[in-house]
A = this chain, B = another copy of it.
Amino acid sequence: MFDKIKEIFESECFVHEPHQLYDPIEYTLHLGGKRIRPYLLMTANQMFGGDDAHVRNAAIGIEVFHNFTLLHDDLMDKSPLRRGKPTVYCKWDENTAILSGDTMFALAWHYFLKQPTPRLQQILSCFNQTAIEVCEGQQYDMNFEHSSHVTIDEYMMMIRLKTAVLLAGALKIGALYAGAPEADIDHLYQFGIHLGLAFQLQDDLLDSYGDVAELGKQTGQDIRDNKKTYLILKALQTAPDNLRSELVDLFSATPDNSDDKVARVRQIYDQLNIRHNVEIAIDEEFSKARLHLDSIHLDDDKKQPLLNLITTLSGRKK
């Protein structure tokens, strides 16, 4: 399936006039990436007996939307690199990033609207609700940067909106195209939510405990950026007073040489057994995902691709 999706994106042309608007779109959509959202959409559709050809455009649409959010996020976060290449706002400029991003959002709709289906309103409403929630998630993420009191519940709500709903939405849309029953769609959606939460918690964990060689990038970046993650929030929740104060101080500073800071934060994490705590939380999310998958009224062989996905993701090192 991933090969098929790769082929779809390689063969799709996003070049139009004015080229100043579409070149950055073509660049962004051909940077690569895991294409996990089109995969989920097409897999869900296949599970319920849908034809791949009937969701080709929707699969493109969901990936175009995802890349639009990355494009604007990179601008808002002032990130210089994405998938090892310069981000659009760096390679071109800020206005290009704004307007090409806006156009990508419209382009996502263009692909959805090209795909005929009797459930159009329901599919588009799901897509749009997801889009709104992703924006809300990004706003909460920005709010949390400036907040000293973020609870773990608030953090989970934020990553649900920012990351999980789009994976869940991709699955739901795929199933809607195939005409799946409502009850199954609900379980599939919840499967996607918990998969997404597990995925994000893994990202948090890998930043502190990942293998530099496997990851292909520096670890500890979240700590250097004073970014709120599950790890620091769990540490603040469970630390004794003296360590909590030290963590608060460490996460308020941006020293020139941040290696010492990263080392000290990891030492505290180890002392508080944070790695184990996060691993438990991740396993819980995967288990919940698995339970929702079990509740879907389909033969096991139909569910196999999503079961395999859990297995693959559970062991991911990057």
Question: Which A residues fall within an 8 A CB radius of B?
Answer: 17-18, 20-21, 72, 75-76, 95, 98-99, 101-103, 105-107, 109-110, 113, 116, 120-121, 124-125, 128-129, 131-132, 135-136, 138-140, 142-143
Give chain B residues whose Cβ lies under 8 Å from the Cβ of A128. 106, 109-110, 113
B95→A142 contact, CB < 8 A:
yes
Give chain B residues whose Cβ lies under 8 Å from the Cβ of A121. 113, 116, 120
- How many copies of the shown chain assemble into the complex? 2
A21→B113 contact, CB < 8 A:
no
What's the Cα separation between A18 and B135 when bound, in Å? 10
With contacts A98-B98, A105-B105, A124-B109 known, is A18 near B72, CB below 8 A?
A: no
**Closest B residue by C-beta to A117:** B121
Known A95-B142, A113-B121; 5 more pairs at CB < 8 Å: A21-B139, A72-B99, A76-B95, A106-B135, A120-B121
With contacts A21-B135, A110-B128 known, is A75 near B103, CB below 8 A?
A: no
With contacts A110-B128, A113-B128 known, is A102 near B99, CB below 8 A?
A: no
State the Cβ distance, A136 to closest chain B Cβ, in Å.
6
B132→A99 contact, CB < 8 A:
no
What's the Cα separation between A69 and B306 when bound, in Å? 40
Give chain B residues whose Cβ lies under 8 Å from the Cβ of A129. 110
State the Cβ distance, A240 to closest chain B Cβ, in Å.
32
Give chain B residues whose Cβ lies under 8 Å from the Cβ of A113. 121, 124-125, 128
A132→B103 contact, CB < 8 A:
yes
With contacts A109-B128, A120-B121 known, is A21 near B136, CB below 8 A?
A: yes
Give chain B residues whose Cβ lies under 8 Å from the Cβ of A131. 106, 109
Give chain B residues whose Cβ lies under 8 Å from the Cβ of A18. 136, 139-140, 143
Of A20, A99, A131, A139, most buried by chain B (CB within 10 Å of CB) is: A139
Give chain B residues whose Cβ lies under 8 Å from the Cβ of A103. 132, 135-136
What's the Cα separation between A239 and B21 when bound, in Å? 33
A20→B143 contact, CB < 8 A:
yes
Give chain B residues whose Cβ lies under 8 Å from the Cβ of A72. 98-99, 102
State the Cβ distance, A307 to closest chain B Cβ, in Å.
33
11 contacting pairs across A/B (C-beta < 8 A): A18-B140, A76-B95, A76-B99, A98-B98, A99-B138, A102-B105, A103-B135, A109-B131, A110-B129, A116-B121, A120-B120
Of A20, A102, A131, most buried by chain B (CB within 10 Å of CB) is: A102
State the Cβ distance, A94 to closest chain B Cβ, in Å.
8
What's the Cα separation between A236 and B105 when bound, in Å? 38
What's the Cα separation between A17 and B72 when bound, in Å? 21
The 3 A-B residue pairs with the shortest CB-CB distance, nearest first, are: A21-B139, A103-B135, A106-B131
What's the Cα separation between A105 and B21 when bound, in Å? 18
State the Cβ distance, A177 to closest chain B Cβ, in Å.
15
